[in-house]
Amino acid sequence: MLTLAIQKSGRLNEKTVQLLRECGIAFENGGSAKLKSKARNFPMQILYLRDDDIPECVADGIADAGIVGENVYLEKRRPLRIIERLGFARCRLSIAFPKDREYCGTDDLQGLNIATSYPNILRDFLKKNRIDATIHEISGSAEIAPGIGLADAIFDIVSTGSTLLSNGLREVETILRSEAVLVAGKKLSSTNQQLLDKLVFRMCAVQLAGNRKYILLNAPNEQIEAICRLLPGMKSPTIMPLSTEGWSSIHSVIAEDEFWEKIEALKAAGAQGILVIPIEKMIL
C-alpha cells in the first residue's frame, strides 16, 4: 500500500484534496481531527501532517510520497526527488525592504541583518552572490521584524504583496518561484513504485485536461482546411458532414491559454455555432 503525506490544513490542503479526488481517489478528508485515512478504491493511505514535517516523513520512509510546497522541499534539504510539479499554491520567496530604504541591487544587501524562516535557501543565495549578511532565523511570518527593529530586511513568501505593504515593506529581489510538488523518497518497493506511477499517470491526465478545452463548430466545406490549420487537436480534428449540404461539423481540442485568440481567428475563417466544453481527463 502506498502512503502519501499531505498538508493537514492550510493553503495546500484544499487543492491537494481536490487533485486526489479528480484522480478518482475516494477518501475522507482528515481535516480536523484525523491523522490518516485509507482510500476506499485505491491501495493508498493518506497521512495528514504540517507541511514542514512532510519532507522528513517521506525521507524517513514513514510516507512513500508527499505533496508539499517546493519552498519547503528546498528548505528542508532532505534526500527526495521531485516526481511531478503540480501547478498550484504558486508563490515566490523574495527579499523585502522597508519601503523608504534604497535598493539598487544585491550589493545593497551587504552587512544587513535579514529575518527569515527560510535560512537555507537564503544562505545559498547570499553565498552564490558573494554577499556577507547576517541571517536572523525566525519561525513564522517575518514581515513584522523590520518594524520592531529586529532586522533590516526580510526574506519571505510573497503572493500578492499586500501583506508586505501593510507592514511598510516592498519586494526588492525575487529568489525563488515555488509551486506544489509531488515528492518521493529515493527508493520505493516495486509495488509502491507501481502505485506511485499509477497515481502520477492520473495526475498528469487531470493536469493536461485542466488547461485544455473540447471545441465543436460548424463550417462551410470550403473553409475546412483553413479551420483545421487553426485546430491541430490531439492527432487531427474530427470532421463530420452536417445534414445541410456543403457544411461540416469540426471537433478538436484547444489549449485554454490560446482560446480567445483562436476563437477570433476561427470566426474570421467562417466558423459558426462554436461550442467550447471542459475536458475532465486527458490521456495522450
The site for ligand ATP (CB under 6 A) is made up of: 7, 10-12, 50-52, 69, 71-72, 89-91, 157, 159, 178
Sequence-distant (6+) residues with CB within 8 A of 247 are 218, 219, 220, 221, 241
Minimum separation from the CB atom of position 244 to ligand ATP (A) = 50
Minimum separation from the CB atom of position 53 to Zn ion (A) = 8
Minimum separation from the CB atom of position 69 to ligand ATP (A) = 2
Residue nearest to ligand ATP (CB): 69
Task: Name the phi and psi angles at 206, rounded to 5.
Answer: -70, -45
Q: 47 or 72: whose CB is closer to ligand ATP? A: 72
Kind of pairing between the strands at 44-49 and 36-38: antiparallel
Minimum separation from the CB atom of position 104 to Zn ion (A) = 33
Q: 11 or 36: whose CB is closer to ligand ATP? A: 11
Which of Zn ion, ligand ATP, none does residue 159 bind (CB under 5 to 8 Å by kind)? Answer: ligand ATP
What residue has cell string 516495486? 190
Q: 134 or 159: whose CB is closer to ligand ATP? A: 159
Residues that bind Zn ion (CB under 5 A): 51-52
Of 12, 121, 30, nearest to 68 (Cα)? 12
Grid cell of 25 as nine digits: 481517489
Q: 70 or 152: whose CB is closer to Zn ion? A: 70
Minimum separation from the CB atom of position 80 to Zn ion (A) = 17
Kind of pairing between the strands at 65-69 and 169-178: unpaired
DSSP line for 29-93: --TTT-SEEE-SSSSEEEEEE-GGGHHHHHHTTSSSEEEEEHHHHHHHT-SEEEEEE---S-EEE
Which of ligand ATP, Zn ion, none does residue 69 bind (CB under 5 to 8 Å by kind)? Answer: ligand ATP
Q: 70 or 173: whose CB is closer to Zn ion? A: 70
